[in-house]
Amino acid sequence: MNILTLNCGSSSAKYQVYDWAEKAVLAVGVVERIGLEYSTIEHKKTGADEYNAKVQCPTHEEAIQLIIDMLLDKTHGVISDMSEIGAVGHRMVHGGEKFKQSVLVTDEVLEEVRKLIPLAPLHEPANIMGVEAARHVMPTIPHAIVMDTAWHQSMPAKSFMYAVPTEWYRQYNVRRYGFHGTSYLYTAKRAAVLLGKDPKDTNLIICHIGNGASICAIKNGEAVDTSMGLTPLEGLVMGTRSGDLDPAILPFIANRTGMSMKEVDTVLNKKSGLVGLCSMSDRRDVRDAAADGNEQAQLAIDIETQRLKKYIGAYAAELGRVDAIVYTAGVGEMAPHIRLGATKDLEILGIHLDEEKNRIGQCRNGELDISKDGSPVRIFVIPTDEELVMTEDAYALMEGTYDVHTAFTYSFQSADYVNKARAAGLEQDLKKRPELKKVLVYPPEN
């Protein structure tokens, strides 16, 4: 049996096919530019060369059908019949307060999700579109939705409530929701394995740093605070998003420039963050520019890492005891200069970064420990795997064995768990960079 996962954006549809029996990824891909003059597909069958083509996909329905046709293709496909797909897992950005865990899709569930569109108007409609298109093309297969916000529903009111009139919360659902929850679930469970602890005994601070970035405080295996809020705009400095700022800036700029609130909102989401500071959003470009003497690029790095450090310190105080700091997502996994700026000089909190290990620690296929020997707080780099969480949730929902993450055991919580694709990738990485052996970390032996 195979599980298909779909992550649909406004003009894209990412997919993965996972062989449940073999515990292996069969294919991954993405259809982009949906609804434009022409679309593109990138399809990678495990063990084969990548396939690229220009196609016509006016809507997500054509994109989903294209994905199915590709999976069935005699040359590039990985299945011979649609009956080999047992379930489909879909990413949904916002689950509001109603959805505290993943659920099977029904008409009633979709109606409840539609009510959440005002909370995520840029992402939720595209996610819903993808679910509807997939259900239309694959009507006999169980579909599940996995919410980015579900992980954070364990936060106490003192963490999720804002100090604004309570009517805003009661009438308009204004509160902190948090995002990147599927990534946090995976990395939190893996960190517990690497620590040799039960998840319920672990306190963690996880930094999910990509173009979008957030940080989460985890106490006794559950989320208790996070940096993103009602929307993904709050918190850390990001590629194009401002993160935290004085809210009075909005009316001030609107009054001085004549911009509408919608225009100001667009600037804060798409023209701020690193782009606003130095006209670049890719951390590699910013790093290289700073090395060449670009003062604005260096300032952008300093601001981003200081914000991260402030949150790490705040969450350490909130947790009381920290077992590990975890870095994940593209930047967290591959940008030592960001980790260095955020973690250096935190010895007062028991956090001791090994700068040489941090420099070496660039790898998407292995789990790394970049803390100094004997550091009271471990510092891990753990590549995330949101697709695997979606896959396991969809399978368990189909089988009727699913439960909230505190009462459910994922395959990757085993000390013996191996991601076959990453293991093969790590073998190649070690041939090119044998020094990686110095930072690889494995679960303690029982």
Q: Give the whole-angstrom CA distance, residue 398 versus residue 5.
A: 14
Mean pLDDT value across residues 388-404: 96
| Whether 33 and 138 share a structural domain | yes
In the chain, the number of structural domains is: 2
Mean pLDDT value across residues 221-249: 96
> Between residues 61 and 110, which one has the greater pLDDT?
110
| pLDDT at site 241 | 93
Quote the Cα angle for 133-135-140, to 5°.
150
| Whether 369 and 287 share a structural domain | yes
| pLDDT at site 12 | 85
| Whether 143 and 233 share a structural domain | no
Tokens of 219: 């106490």
| Whether 120 and 256 share a structural domain | no
Whether 33 is in a domain gets the answer yes
Q: Pick from 347, 381, 415: which residue ends a domain?
A: 381
Structural contact between residues 420 and 412, judged by C-beta atoms closer than 8 angstroms: no
| pLDDT at site 426 | 95
| Residue whose C-alpha is closest to residue 211's, from 238, 181, 243 | 238
Burial class (CB in 10 A: 0-12, 13-18, 19+), 119: buried
| Whether 243 and 291 share a structural domain | yes
Whether 323 is in a domain gets the answer yes
Q: Pick from 354, 381, 408: which residue ends a domain?
A: 381
Q: Give the whole-angstrom CA distance, residue 178 versus residue 378.
A: 25
Query: Residue 363: which domain range?
Result: 157-381
| Whether 90 and 43 share a structural domain | yes
| Whether 161 and 115 share a structural domain | no
Q: Give the whole-angstrom CA distance, residue 52 versus residue 47.
A: 16
Mean pLDDT value across residues 369-386: 97
| Whether 137 and 162 share a structural domain | no
246: left (phi over 0), alpha (psi -120 to 50) or beta: beta
| pLDDT at site 203 | 98
Mean pLDDT value across residues 160-171: 97
Helices 295-319/336-343 angle, 10° precision: 50
The long-range contacts involving 341-345, CB below 8 angstroms and separated by at least 24 positions, are: 341/301, 341/302, 341/304, 341/305, 341/306, 341/308, 341/309, 342/207, 342/305, 342/308, 342/309, 342/312, 343/309, 343/312, 343/379
Residue 18 belongs to a domain with what CATH number?
A: 3.30.420.40
Structural contact between residues 261 and 268, judged by C-beta atoms closer than 8 angstroms: no
Whether 414 is in a domain gets the answer no
Whether 427 is in a domain gets the answer no
| Whether 131 and 224 share a structural domain | no
Lowest mean pLDDT among 9-23, 141-155, 224-238, 394-408: 9-23
376 pLDDT exceeds 80? yes
168 pLDDT exceeds 90? yes
Specify the amino acid at residue 206. Answer: I
- Which positions are annotated as active-site residues? 148
10 pLDDT exceeds 80? no
Residue linked to tokens 């013996």: 416
| Whether 138 and 249 share a structural domain | no
Rounding to the nearest 10 degrees, give the CA dihedral for residues 96, 102, 105, 109.
Answer: -30
Strands annotated E in 113-261? 143-147, 204-209, 213-219, 222-226
Tokens of 157: 């009111």
Whether 206 is in a domain gets the answer yes
Whether 166 is in a domain gets the answer yes
Q: Give the whole-angstrom CA distance, residue 306 versus residue 308.
A: 5
Mean pLDDT value across residues 294-323: 98
Q: Pick from 381, 396, 417: which residue ends a domain?
A: 381
Residue linked to tokens 């599940």: 144
| pLDDT-above-90 percentage for the chain | 87
Residue 133 CA, distance from chain mean position: 24
| Whether 138 and 170 share a structural domain | no
In what order do the strands lie in the sheet containing 324-328? Answer: 222-226, 213-219, 204-209, 324-328, 378-381, 368-369
Mean pLDDT value across residues 207-213: 94
| pLDDT at site 310 | 98
Q: Give the whole-angstrom CA distance, residue 281 versus residue 63.
A: 29
| Whether 225 and 81 share a structural domain | no
Q: Give the whole-angstrom CA distance, residue 178 versus residue 196.
A: 28
Mean pLDDT value across residues 82-86: 91
208 pLDDT exceeds 80? yes
| pLDDT-above-70 percentage for the chain | 100
Mean pLDDT value across residues 390-418: 95
Neighbouring CB atoms inside 10 A of 57's CB total 25
For 328, the enclosing helix (H) or strand (E) is: strand 324-328
For 262, the enclosing helix (H) or strand (E) is: helix 261-270
Q: pTM of the predicted model, to two decimals?
A: 0.94
Phi, psi values for residue 132, rounded to 5°: -65, -40
| pLDDT at site 119 | 87
What pLDDT, in 10s, does the model give residues 111-147?
999 999 988 887 888 899 889 989 998 999 999 999 9
Question: Across the chain, what does the average pLDDT equal?
Answer: 95
Whether 232 is in a domain gets the answer yes
Neighbouring CB atoms inside 10 A of 349's CB total 17
| pLDDT at site 446 | 61
Residue linked to tokens 């292996």: 24
| Residue whose C-alpha is closest to residue 281's, from 262, 301, 266 | 301
Whether 57 is in a domain gets the answer yes
69 pLDDT exceeds 70? yes
77 pLDDT exceeds 70? yes
Residue 407 DSSP label: G
| pLDDT at site 132 | 92
| Residue whose C-alpha is closest to residue 87's, from 71, 105, 73 | 105
